[in-house]
Structure 1
Amino acid sequence: MSKFTVLTISLLATTIGMCAAALPSQAQDGVSSGRACRVTDPTGTPLNARLQPNGKIVNRIRNGRTVYAQSISSDREGKPWVLVASKERGSYKILGYVLREYVSCY
Structure 2
Amino acid sequence: MMEGKMPDDWRGSIIVLIFKQEGNASKCSNYCGIKLISHTMKVYERLVDSKLREMVTISQKQWCSMPERSTTDAYHEKRKPCYLAFQDLEKAYDRLPRAVL
Please report the TM-score for the alignment, with normalisation by the length of structure 2.
0.28
Structure showing greater radius of gyration is 2
Structure with a larger share of its residues in helix: 2
Q: Using CA pairs below 8 Å that are at least 6 residues apart, which structure has the higher relative contact order?
A: 1
Structure with a larger share of its residues in strand: 1
